[in-house]
Structure 1
Amino acid sequence: MSTGERPITVCFVGNPNCGKTTLFNAFTGAKLKVANWPGVTVERMEGETSYKGRKIRVIDTPGIYSLTSYTMEELVTRRCIEEDGVDVIVNVVDASSLERNLYLTMQLLELKKPVILALNMMDIIEERGMEIDLHRLPEMLGGIPVVPVSARKRTGLDVLMHAVVHHYEEGPQGVIVRYDREIEDRIQRVEDLLREKYPDLTNLRWHAIKMLEYDKEVLKDHPVELKQIVPRSFEKEIINEKYDYVESVIKECLFNKEEKSHMTDQVDKILTHPILGIPAFFGIMALVFFLTFTVGDFLKGYFEQGLELLSLGVLSGLHSAGASDWVISLVVDGALAGVGGILTFLPNIFILFLALAFLEDSGYMARVAYVMNETMGMVGLSGRAFLPMLLGFGCTVPAVMATRALENQRDRLKTILITPFMSCSARLTIYVLLADMFFPKSAMLVAYSLYLVGVAMAILIALIVHRMTDSNTENALLIELPEYKIPNLRTVAIYVWEKIKDYLTKAGTTIFLASIILWFVMNVGPAGFISDVADSFAAKFGQILVPVLKPVGLGSWQIAVALISGISAKEVVVSSMSVLYGIGNINSAAGMAELLGILGGTGFTSVNAYALMVFCLLYTPCIATIATIKRETQSWRWTLGMVMFQLVLAWSAAFLVFQIGSRLF
C-alpha cells in the first residue's frame, strides 16, 4: 500500500466529559457507553470511517486534563498520543468550558503533531448567549484548524473530517508557548543534552519541558543527568505560564462568558449539599426501584402470558411430531423453563437501565461521587472510588475495569475488592422473584434494602482494610461536575439497547447452556437416566453441600445446586430453580404460588428467603467478573483469595440473618 493509500490514524483527545466518545460513535457507527460523567472510557477504543474514499482509523481515548500522567487512564491516553502511528490529534473541547480545556491544547501543540481543535457543545454556548470568535481563536493558537461541532446533533462532522485529511497533508502547525528567559535557557540546555545522548529522539523540546517538570515517564524512558541543569521541578512555573497564555486567548476570543448555568447552581444547592446530598441520592435510588417494580411488574404480566402461550405451542408441536418424552422434557422443562423464566424479568431490567441512563446522561452521577467523598474518605478512598461502585449497579465487569481511573494500585485493589458487593442487574432477577413471593406487600422495599446492604457492606469492608493497612493515608478528590442537561434520547436508547442486548445474549447462550446441562445432571445418575430426581448427579452433589448451608437456612440440595450454577451468571440461580423444581413459568403468579408451596412444605420461610438474597448478594461473582478481576490485578492469588473471602463473608452474613431472624420472627 502506498503512502497516499495508507489510512490516516486520528486520535480523539480531550478532558473527561467533553464528548469524545459521542463524537467517536458518530464517526464510526460504534455504540460505546456514553454518559455525562467523567471516567466512562477506561481504555482506548478503535474504529474506522472514511472521507471521500480516504480511509481513516479513529481512536477514542480516556479523558485527561493534562499530559502529566497520574492514573492508568491518563497513561493510556498519553502513550497513544506519543505513538509514531498517530497522524492527527483531534482535540475535542467543551466549548462551554473553553478556559479549562485549552490547557491540554497547549500541551498537545508542543508534541509537534497536526492538531485540530473540535469545539463541541456549541449548542450550549448559544443557549447561554455566549460567543466565540472563530476567526481570532485559530489565529491565537497559531493557525490550527478550529471546527465547531455538535456530537449530539451530528453537525460539523464532514467539516472536521475534511480538516483531518487536509491538515494531515500540511503537517504540524500551532503556537508554542515561550516561557521566561530562565526556563527557556534550561530547555535549550536539556535539548542539547538529549541531542547528544539520544540522536534519534524526535521533538526534543517536548521531552525537555517534561524533564523540567520531573515527569516520571520521560525520565524513565530517557535517563540523563539533570542535576546541574534542572536542580528542581519547574512544573508549577510552566503550568502558570501556560494558563497565562490561555487567559490571554480567552480575553481575545470569548465573549459574554458565564461560569456556570443558573439552573445547575440551583439544583446543586440540594443535590450536592453536605447534609441533604446523601439522603437525596438514596431518595432518587428509591424512586428508581419504585419504578422498576411498579411499571416493570405491570409489563411483566404480558411477557408471562406470551411465554405461557409459547410453551403450550412448543409442547403441542412436539407431541404432534411424535417426540419422545425425554426430548419434550429437555425442551420444555429444561431450555424453555430456564431461559423463559429469565426473559420474564426483562421489563424490570429495562426500567432499571432506562432510569440509570437518564441519571447518567443528565450529569447527576458525578455528583454522587462528590457527595460520597467524605464518607469514602473515612475508609481511605476518595469519592472517585464510588464511580466504579455506581457502575456495578449495571454490571460488575465494566465496574472493575473502571478502577483504572484511580491514582494508585492500593486504591484500585481495595475498590476491586468491594465493587462486587454492588447489586448488578443479574441479581435483580433473584430479588424480584423472592421478594414478590415472600414479601408481596413490601417487595420493592425488600429489594431496595439489598442494594443498601451491598453499599453498607462495601464501606464496612473498606473501613476494616483501611484500619488494618493504611489508616494515615489521605485521598483528595478532583472531579469535574458537568452541567446538568436534558438527556439525549439517542444516547439513552443506545445505552439501554446495549444492556438489554447483553441480557438477551446471556439468556440465549450462558443461561440456555446452563439450563440444558442442569436438566441432564437432574435426569441422569450413576445408573443412567433416572425417574426419581433424588437419585440424580445434581442431588448427590447438592447433598454434599447441605450440611454447610443448613446453618444459614439454605439446607436444600436444590438451592445448593442453584447457587453453584449461579457462578456462571447470577440470573442462572432463577433459571436453575425453575428447572430444579420443575416449574415451567416460575415468575408467573401460578409459578410463584407453586414454588412457594414447595418451599413452604420444607419449612422455608421469609427469613430463609432474605438469607438467600443476602447470600446471593455477597457470594462469588460470575465467571466473567472473576476473569476481569484476574486480568486487572494480574494475580491469581489475589483473585482466588477474593473469591474465597466473598464465600466466607456471604455465609457469615446469611448465618447472622437466619439465626437472628429466626429468633425474632
Structure 2
Amino acid sequence: MSSIALVGNPNTGKTSLFNTLTSSYEYVGNWAGVTVEKKIGSLKNGAGKLIDLPGIYSLHPLSRDEGVAAQYLIEETPEALINIVDASQLERNLLLTLQLLEYGKPTILGLNMTDVAKARGIQVNPDILSEQLGIPVLPLIARTGKGTGQVLSVLEQPSHIPPVTFQLNYGELAEEAIASIVTHLQKISGLPNLRWVALQLLEQNPVILELLEKRTDISGLLLIADTAQTRLQRDKLALTLPQWIRSVRMDYIRKVCAEAIDSTLQKPHNLTERLDSILTHRFLGLPLFILFMYAMFKTTFDWIGGPLSDLLDGFIGGQLSDWTNSLLGAIGASEFTHALIVDGLIGGVGGVLVFVPQIFILFLMISFLEDSGYMARVCLLMDSTMERMGLNGKAFIPFIIGFGCNVPAIMAARSIEQPKDRMLTTLLMPLMSCSARLPVYLLFAAVFFPAQQAAAVLSMYVMGVVFALVLCKFFSKYLFKNEASIFIIELPPYRMPQLKTLSRSTWEKGKGFLRKAGTIILAGSVLIWLMSYAGPGGLNVDMDHSFLAKFGGFIAPLLQPLGFGTWQAGSTLVPGFLAKEVVVSTMNIIYHAPDTAGLEGQIASVFTPLSSISFMAFILLYIPCLATVGVIKKETASWKWTFFSMGYSLVLAYAVSLVIYQGGRLLGWS
C-alpha cells in the first residue's frame, strides 16, 4: 500500500486536511506546533496511507518535532508528497516547497487558506504557480473541506502524479561541490535523491550528517564542503554556503511570487492587525486576558455549567439510584451486591460524572480561544514575564494545553527548540491544573465559597502558573545554567471557529475524562469500596475499622499540620496518584453520600474554609498522576528527572499547604 506524506509549515492546515482525507480526528489548533509527531491514517478512497508530519519551516530541524519530519523523509520512501502552503503567506512557505521539490518525489501543492488571502486582498493564480514549479497546484480551504475532494481524487492513483523535474542552479562553485558529493554518495545504498542529500549536506543538516556518519566515513564529503565554503567566502563577500543556497532559493521564490501573486488590492490594515492593537497592547493585553479567563470560569461554574451539573446530580442521586435499588430488590440481589453497585459504583463513579457538564463547557471555551488564534497572542504577552523567569513565551502553549491534560501538554513541549526550555517545561507541567483536579475544586468551592466559585477555582489555576514560573526561575538558575533561550512564534490570523471543529475538539478533550470514568475511576471505586467494606474483623465492618481506615491512618499524622489530618483525607490522596478524579469518588464512598449535596454536607462538617484551601492546594501541587509520570519518563528518557519531578512536587505541596494552614491560623482565620 502506497504512503503519501503531508508536509508544510506550521499552522498551514495540514492536520485539518489530514482529518478530512482520512475521516479521523487529530488535535487541531490555530497556532504553530500543534502536531508534534507523525500521524498515520488511511485515505477514504483506500488508495494508501497518509502521514501527517509535524510542521516545519525547512528541512533543517531546530526542534525535536521538526527532526521527526526531516528524519522521515530521509529514512522512509513515500510514494508522493502533499505540500500544504498558506496562500496568504506564500513567499515564506515556498522555501520549504523548493526543498521538497529537490527531494524528487511526485508532489502536489495544496494552496490552502485561499479565503484568508482573499480577505486580505491577495489573489494567487494557481495556474501560473503550477507552471513555475512544474507540479499540480490545487486551491482549497482545508478547515471547511472546500477543494479536498479534488485532492482525494488526484490521490486515487498516486503513480499518475507527474514526476518532479524541478532543479535550481546554485552557481558554478556550489554545483561543482554537489557533483563531487553525488559521486561519493553513489557508493552508499538506500539513500533518497542524491542531489537532494548533497544539498542537505552542504546546508549542514544535522539529521543528514548523522545518517551518513552511520553508513560511511564522511571526512571526504566534509572536505569537499569546506573547500567550496572557502572558495565561496573568497568570491561572494563572506557568505556561508548555507546562506548562499538560501539566497539563491529566495531569489527564485521572489520571481515566482511576482508572477503568481496579485496584491494590488491588499488592504493596509486588516481585522487581525486592528484586534492585535488592543489584545496585544503593552498595558491592556494581560488585564484583558485575565478578564477573559474570569469570564470563562464564571460561565463554566456559575452561569451555565453549575445548573447543568445540579440537574445531572439530581438524576444520578435520585432517579438512577432509585431505579437501581428497585431493580436489585426485584432480582433478589445480595446485600453485598446491592452495596457494591449503589455505594461503590454509582456513588463513586457518579460522584465524578456530575462534573462532566462543567468540564465540557470549560473545554469548549478553551477550544474557542485556541481556534480563534488568541492563544498564540497570549504566548506573546507572556514572553517578557516568562523570559525573566528563564523560559520563553512559546512554553506557555503547553501550559495552556496542560489545563486539559498534562500528558499531551508534555508532548507538545517537543515543539520548543532549546533542550533547556523543553526540559524545564516538561518538569513544570504537572503544576498546571488539569481537568482531573477540577472536581475537587468544584466540590470544595461549592461548600465554602458558593458566592465566589469562579474566583476560587481560578485562583487554583493561577497558583499553579505562579509556582511554575517561580520554580522555573530557580531551576534555570541552578540546574540549567548558561543556556540561552530563543523565542520565535508565528501569530496566525484571527478567525471565527467553526461549530464542527469546536464540537470535535471539545469531544476529543473531554472523552479522556469519560474514558477514565469507565476504567480507572470505576476500578478505583470498586477497590476503595472493598477496602471500606472489609476489615480485620471481616466483611461489612464499621467504616472506622475497615482496611481503608487503617490505610489512611498511616499517613494521617503527617497531614495533621496541614489541617486535614484524618484517615478519610489520607485515604483519598494515595489513590489520587492513579488519577486525580479518584479523589472525589473516594470521598463519595467514604462518606456514603447519596448525591453531591449529601457529600457537600459531610465535607462542611469535616473541613473548615482554611483547611479546604490547604487541601485544594495540596491536590494541585502533589505528585502527578501515573500517566503523567509515564510520559515524563518517555520524554526525558531519564528516571533521575522523573523521580525529581515527583519529589519536588510532593515537597512543594506539603510546604505550601503548611504555610497556608499554619499561616492562616496565626492570622486568626478558620
For the aligned pair, the TM-score class normalised by the smaller chain equals: over 0.9
**For structure 1, which segment, 101-110 or 630-639, has the greater mean C-alpha deviation from structure 2 after superposition?**
630-639
Aligned AA for 1:178? N
Q: How far did residue 25 of structure 1 move?
A: 0.5
Q: How far did residue 120 of structure 1 move?
A: 1.1
Q: How many angstroms apart in 2 are the aligned matches of 1:260 and 1:26?
A: 34
**Equivalent residues of 1:380, 1:471 under 8 A apart:** no
Seen in structure 2, the aligned counterparts of structure 1 residues 187 and 114 have a Cα distance that, compared at 3 Å, is same
Q: How many angstroms apart in 1 are the aligned matches of 2:385 and 2:144?
A: 38
Q: Does 1:508 align with 2:511?
A: no
Q: Which position in structure 2 is the counterpart of 1:3?
A: none
**Equivalent residues of 2:177, 2:224 under 8 A apart:** no
**Equivalent residues of 2:36, 2:411 under 8 A apart:** yes
Q: Which position in structure 1 is the counterpart of 2:148?
A: 157
Q: Does 1:311 align with 2:321?
A: yes
**Equivalent residues of 1:546, 1:557 under 8 A apart:** yes
Counterpart selection for 1:86 from 78, 81, 87: 78
Q: Which position in structure 2 is the counterpart of 1:194?
A: 185
Q: Does 1:23 align with 2:17?
A: yes
Q: Does 1:101 align with 2:93?
A: yes
Q: Does 1:346 align with 2:353?
A: no
Counterpart selection for 1:622 from 606, 620, 625: 625
Q: How far did residue 82 of structure 1 move?
A: 2.5
Q: Secondary structure at the match of 1:566?
A: helix
Seen in structure 2, the aligned counterparts of structure 1 residues 644 and 202 have a Cα distance that, compared at 3 Å, is closer
Q: Does 1:244 align with 2:251?
A: yes
Counterpart selection for 1:376 from 376, 386, 401: 386
Q: Does 1:330 align with 2:340?
A: yes
Q: How far did residue 69 of structure 1 move?
A: 0.8
Q: How many angstroms apart in 2 are the aligned matches of 1:199 and 1:30?
A: 36
Q: Which position in structure 2 is the counterpart of 1:45?
A: 39
Q: How far did residue 229 of structure 1 move?
A: 4.2
Q: Which position in structure 2 is the counterpart of 1:428?
A: 438
Aligned AA for 1:74? E
Counterpart selection for 1:76 from 53, 68, 79: 68
Counterpart selection for 2:193 from 203, 207, 210: 203
Q: How far did residue 84 of structure 1 move?
A: 3.7
Q: Which position in structure 1 is the counterpart of 2:308?
A: 299
Q: Which position in structure 2 is the counterpart of 1:220?
A: 210
RMSD: 1.7
Q: How many angstroms apart in 2 are the aligned matches of 1:11 and 1:202?
A: 15
Q: Which position in structure 2 is the counterpart of 1:264?
A: 272
Q: Which position in structure 2 is the counterpart of 1:230?
A: 226
Seen in structure 2, the aligned counterparts of structure 1 residues 10 and 261 have a Cα distance that, compared at 3 Å, is farther
Within a 5 Å distance, the mapping from 1:173-184 to structure 2 comes to 173-184=164-175
- Alignment identity in percent? 40
Query: Which digits, 9 at most, give the CA deviation of each residue in 1:242-281, with x for residues without a partner?
Result: 1111111111001126488611101111222233222222
**For structure 1, which segment, 429-438 or 154-163, has the greater mean C-alpha deviation from structure 2 after superposition?**
154-163
**Equivalent residues of 1:113, 1:171 under 8 A apart:** no
Seen in structure 2, the aligned counterparts of structure 1 residues 637 and 84 have a Cα distance that, compared at 3 Å, is closer
Counterpart selection for 1:281 from 270, 289, 294: 289
Tell me the TM-score normalised to structure 2 length. Answer: 0.94
**Equivalent residues of 1:363, 1:482 under 8 A apart:** yes
Q: How far did residue 187 of structure 1 move?
A: 2.0
Q: How far did residue 653 of structure 1 move?
A: 0.8
Q: Would you identify which runs of 4 or more consecutive aligned residues in structure 1 move more than 6 Å?
A: none
**For structure 1, which segment, 321-330 or 447-456, has the greater mean C-alpha deviation from structure 2 after superposition?**
321-330
Q: How many angstroms apart in 2 are the aligned matches of 1:516 and 1:429?
A: 19
Q: Secondary structure at the match of 1:435?
A: helix
**Equivalent residues of 2:2, 2:79 under 8 A apart:** yes
Q: Does 1:321 align with 2:331?
A: yes
Q: How many angstroms apart in 2 are the aligned matches of 1:483 and 1:385?
A: 20
Q: How far did residue 50 of structure 1 move?
A: 4.4
Q: Does 1:13 align with 2:13?
A: no
**For structure 1, which segment, 24-33 or 529-538, has the greater mean C-alpha deviation from structure 2 after superposition?**
529-538
**Equivalent residues of 1:281, 1:368 under 8 A apart:** yes
Q: How many angstroms apart in 2 are the aligned matches of 1:406 and 1:93?
A: 22
Q: How far did residue 165 of structure 1 move?
A: 4.3
**Equivalent residues of 1:383, 1:477 under 8 A apart:** yes
Q: Which runs of 5+ in 1 are unaligned?
A: 1-6
Aligned AA for 2:659? L
Seen in structure 2, the aligned counterparts of structure 1 residues 228 and 129 have a Cα distance that, compared at 3 Å, is closer
Aligned AA for 2:487? L
Q: Does 1:641 align with 2:644?
A: yes
**Equivalent residues of 1:583, 1:595 under 8 A apart:** no
Query: Which digits, 9 at most, give the CA deviation of each residue in 1:441-462, with x for residues without a partner?
Result: 2121111111110000000111
Q: How far did residue 180 of structure 1 move?
A: 2.5
Query: Which digits, 9 at most, give the CA deviation of each residue in 1:561-610, with x for residues without a partner?
Result: 1111111111111111110111121x23x44124323x1xxxx3101000
Q: How many residues align?
A: 648
Counterpart selection for 1:126 from 118, 123, 131: 118
Q: How far did residue 170 of structure 1 move?
A: 4.9
Seen in structure 2, the aligned counterparts of structure 1 residues 167 and 523 have a Cα distance that, compared at 3 Å, is closer
Q: How far did residue 217 of structure 1 move?
A: 2.0
Query: Which digits, 9 at most, give the CA deviation of each residue in 1:148-199, with x for residues without a partner?
Result: 122122122232123334553355314222223222222223223333x536
Q: How far did residue 329 of structure 1 move?
A: 1.3
**Equivalent residues of 2:79, 2:158 under 8 A apart:** no
Aligned AA for 1:304? D
Q: How many angstroms apart in 1 are the aligned matches of 2:147 and 2:225?
A: 47
